[in-house]
Amino acid sequence: MNLTYKILWFEDQIDFVDTYIPDFKKYIENFGLKFIKPIIETDSSKMQAIDYNEFDLILMDYKLSDGDKGDIIISRIRELNIYTDIIFYSSSRIDELRQSIQRNGLDGIYCVSRAEASFLPKVKDIIKQTLRKVFDLNALRGIVMATVSDFDDKMVEIINVYKAYIGDEAYNIFLQKRKRKLIESLDDKKKNITKTDIIDICKERDFDTSHKWRAVLNIVKENIPALYELTNLFKTEIVDIRNPLAHVTEIDDPNGNGKKCLADGEFIFNEDKSKEILLNLKKHDQNFDNILNFLKS
């Protein structure tokens, strides 16, 4: 899972940056994303070597130590056909920043005061605006499908690592049990599954996300009971959400606030639901890592 949020920050006063990083980290992680410590550039000397496509947001001070003004650096970035949102800030008057932006014909720029009282809340509002692309229905569908696929791989890794943890004999008994469970739930495909080599059972097409989860849940129950409750939530919080996301129909928000949502029985998709899903993806990704680390230690 790689739901990250990356910031590129042009600022020569590192203390100013350090003041706000904890707030940005907490705010971004509250949306279920992983916060990556910003890349700090104190001047424009390395700007040609930067891969701007890696970043979700750029913060730009008006005056840097090497004498280059922020609007000039922004112009050079835009000349590279980089259209990432940029927050342009200064202790100068906001209208001066806007005039410099208009004078250079620059788009996608937010002008913000450097003043402590207004800087943090304004930047948070802009970050939330940039995250709307994550809350978009089609974007979230893609994120969930791709992440669940990653979870499938991670659960298979857990099952494979388990062999070294309990030994060959116990591991074969464990796989035999999972094979029986798979056969029981797929009676119509029993003949084909029965022919599957026991060591290849995890590669069987019908050994799907639910079966992988049940195998991992069994491992956790027997060996890491402290993580059982959280692992048990994977089905309701991830698997049971993935299915309606893949199949339900987009409709107008029933509250009439102009947003779009999904409705299928009691399942409603909106921005709050999107945030909840992202937080759950992050939570279970960390849980699978914890299980793997336990088995490998």
161 and 30 part of one domain: no
> If you average pLDDT over residues 55-82, what whole number do you get?
87
| pLDDT at res. 193 | 61
Helices then strands (H, E): number in the chain? Answer: 13, 10
**What tens digit of pLDDT does each residue of 164-213 get?**
999 999 999 999 998 888 887 776 666 666 666 777 777 777 788 888 99
141 and 196 part of one domain: yes
The residue among 111, 130, 149 that closes a domain is: 130
Is residue 266's pLDDT more than 80?
Answer: no
152 and 286 part of one domain: yes
| pLDDT at res. 275 | 86
28 and 158 part of one domain: no
For the chain, what is the mean pLDDT?
Answer: 85
70 and 160 part of one domain: no
Is residue 258's pLDDT more than 60?
Answer: no
Range in 149-158, 191-200, 215-224, 235-244 with the lowest mean pLDDT: 191-200
> If you average pLDDT over residues 253-272, what whole number do you get?
68
| pLDDT at res. 26 | 94
> If you average pLDDT over residues 111-121, what whole number do you get?
87
92 and 177 part of one domain: no
CA-nearest of 39, 45, 113, 40 to 76 is: 45
pTM for this model (two decimals): 0.65
Structure tokens that stand for 132 in this block: 């709307």
The residue among 109, 130, 151 that closes a domain is: 130
If one counts the domains in the chain, the total is 2
Provide long-range contacts, Cβ within 8 A and 24+ apart, for 159-167. 159/202, 159/212, 159/215, 159/216, 159/219, 160/202, 161/292, 161/295, 161/296, 162/219, 162/295, 164/295, 165/223, 165/295, 166/223
DSSP 8-class letter at 105: T
Structure tokens that stand for 21 in this block: 């990083």
Is residue 251's pLDDT more than 80?
Answer: no
73 and 168 part of one domain: no
Residue range of the domain that includes 226 = 137-296
Structure tokens that stand for 23 in this block: 């707030």
Q: Which pLDDT band, with edges at 50, 70 and 90, does 256 fall under? A: low
151 and 120 part of one domain: no
The CATH number assigned to the domain holding 9 equals 3.40.50.2300
